[in-house]
Amino acid sequence: MRADPGTAVPDTDDIVISDQTDLIRVRQALRAQARSAGLGLVDETKLITAGSELARNILKYATGARGRLRAEQVAAGGRRGVRATFTDEGPGIEDVGAALTDGFSTGGSLGLGLPGARRLVDELTLTSAPGSGTTVVIEKWQR
Q: Distance between CA 64 and CA 96 in Å, rounded?
A: 21
Binned at pLDDT 50, 70 and 90, residue 113 comes out as confident
Which pLDDT value is given to residue 117? Answer: 95
Kindly tell me if the per-residue pLDDT of 4 is higher than 50: no
Residue 142 phi, psi dihedral angles, 5° rounding: -55, 145
Q: Are 124 and 118 in contact (CB under 8 A)?
A: yes
Q: Distance between CA 119 and CA 46 in Å, rounded?
A: 9
Domain that holds residue 65: 15-141
Kindly tell me if the per-residue pLDDT of 7 is higher than 50: no
pLDDT tens readout for residues 11-62: 667 999 999 999 999 999 999 999 999 999 999 999 999 999 999 999 988 9
pLDDT tens readout for residues 87-101: 999 999 888 888 888
Which pLDDT value is given to residue 73? Answer: 94
Residue 58 domain-assigned (yes or no)? yes
CATH number, domain of 111, equals 3.30.565.10
Say which DSSP state 27 is in: H
pLDDT tens readout for residues 116-133: 999 999 999 999 989 989
Overall number of domains in the chain = 1
Residue 4 domain-assigned (yes or no)? no
Residue 2 domain-assigned (yes or no)? no
Binned at pLDDT 50, 70 and 90, residue 64 comes out as confident
Residue 52 domain-assigned (yes or no)? yes
